């Protein structure tokens, strides 16, 4: 196991105890993905013994008494995927309310990708993600409804993300909640997002998916203004499928239009990498 670089574990039993796992050592480990009903015993100790980890995803369905990560754990971490309910475990990797971007960078200089699912409130983004606004390159959000994202506060927050390259937002929707959606994904929200990111000199792709949305007409994407100058792709997921658009910039009018684009698949991954999902990074043109 000296050369193991990626480890994926899915634990389905109610008692998620892997006795002795804290004694395991995989010196080449760079990516770890563990899903369990309850966090395994000694999990944090096991992970902390692998300081070379750069990608981490831990998914626990139930809250547990797992001790949180310490500030010195995983100094090289770049990408973190988490369920909001497990925030306490990951506190040392997240920002704190009113924390400056400089302080967040000093604590976690390598963080560049957050994938947050089961997001329920805008406040979480403001308190824990905003401090990384100058270093995040990718942000993935999965929400049950539109309330945390389709609002002025969220659009204002995006304006401060100066290093962002890709933004992905998925509205899952749940009919069993018994609540009526006030908004669904539409051209209006798309234009609000593009306006918020118009000054972002690195922004290249926007991924939107709403199970309640309708198909977007290409005519809606003619003469888009304002638009981030580096923008290359928009992915529009709706109730019946998904369409990808290639953005063509008109340098004379400073506006842009879109054409339907057939996306070539990414290179086949021999090892599992959750950061390779929902991305156009293999298509980006500098």
What pLDDT digit, counting tens, does each position of 123-173 carry?
999 999 999 999 999 999 999 888 888 889 999 999 999 999 999 999 987
Tokens of residue 197, six digits = 């990111």
Q: Is pLDDT above 50 for 176?
A: no
Q: What is the separation of C-alpha 36 from the centre of its chain, rounded to a whole number of angstroms?
A: 21
Question: Which is it for strands 79-83 and 113-119: parallel, antiparallel or unpaired?
Answer: parallel
Phi/psi for 196 (5° steps) reads -65, -30
pLDDT range class, residue 17, cuts 50, 70, 90: low
Residue 171 CA neighbour count, 13 Å, CB half: 25
Mean pLDDT on 199-203: 95
Q: What is the pLDDT of residues 213-226, one digit of tens each?
A: 889 888 889 888 89
Tokens 């905003």 belong to residue: 130
CA–CA dist 109, 117 (Å, integer)? 23
CA–CA dist 141, 1 (Å, integer)? 34
Tokens of residue 63, six digits = 């809250």
Residue 140 CA neighbour count, 13 Å, CB half: 18
Question: Which is it for strands 55-60 and 205-210: parallel, antiparallel or unpaired?
Answer: unpaired
Q: What is the pLDDT of residues 89-131, one digit of tens each?
A: 899 999 999 999 999 999 999 999 999 999 989 999 999 999 9
Tokens 């980006």 belong to residue: 284
Phi/psi for 256 (5° steps) reads -150, 160
**Count of beta carbons in the 10 Å neighbourhood of residue 223:** 11
pTM of the model: 0.91
The dihedral region occupied by 254, where left means phi > 0, alpha psi between -120 and 50, and beta the remainder, is left
All structural domains of the chain, each given as residue ranges with its CATH number in brackets, are 1-93 (no CATH), 102-286 (3.80.10)
What pLDDT, on a 0 to 100 scale, did the predictor assign at position 140? 97
**Count of beta carbons in the 10 Å neighbourhood of residue 61:** 13
First to last CA, the chain: 38
């Amino acid at each position: 196991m000296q050369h193991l670089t990626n480890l994926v574990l899915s634990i389905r039993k109610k008692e998620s105890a892997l006795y002795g796992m804290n004694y395991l050592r995989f010196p080449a480990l760079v990516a770890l993905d563990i899903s369990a009903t309850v966090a395994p015993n000694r999990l944090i100790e096991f992970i902390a013994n692998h300081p070379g980890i750069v990608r981490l995803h831990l998914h626990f369905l139930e809250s547990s008494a797992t001790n949180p990560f310490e500030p010195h754990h995983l100094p090289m971490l770049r990408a973190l995927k988490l369920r909001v309910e497990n925030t306490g475990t990951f506190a040392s990797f997240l920002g704190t309310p009113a924390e400056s971007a400089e302080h967040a960078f000093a604590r976690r200089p390598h963080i560049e990708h957050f994938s947050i699912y089961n997001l329920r409130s805008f406040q979480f983004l403001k308190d824990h993600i905003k401090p990384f606004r100058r270093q995040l390159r990718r942000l993935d959000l999965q929400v049950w409804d539109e309330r945390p994202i389709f609002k002025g506060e969220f659009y204002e927050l995006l304006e401060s993300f100066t290093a962002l390259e890709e933004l992905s937002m998925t509205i899952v929707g749940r009919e069993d909640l018994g609540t009526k959606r006030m908004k669904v994904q539409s051209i209006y929200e798309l234009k609000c997002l593009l306006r918020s990111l118009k000054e972002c000199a690195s922004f290249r792709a926007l991924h939107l998916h709403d199970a309640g949305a309708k198909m977007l007409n290409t005519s809606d994407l003619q003469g888009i203004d304002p638009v981030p100058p580096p923008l290359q792709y928009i992915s529009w997921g709706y109730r019946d499928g998904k369409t990808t658009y290639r953005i063509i910039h008109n340098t004379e009018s400073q506006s842009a239009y879109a054409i339907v684009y057939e996306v070539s698949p990414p290179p086949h991954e021999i090892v599992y990498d959750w950061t390779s999902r929902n991305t156009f990074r293999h298509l980006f043109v500098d």
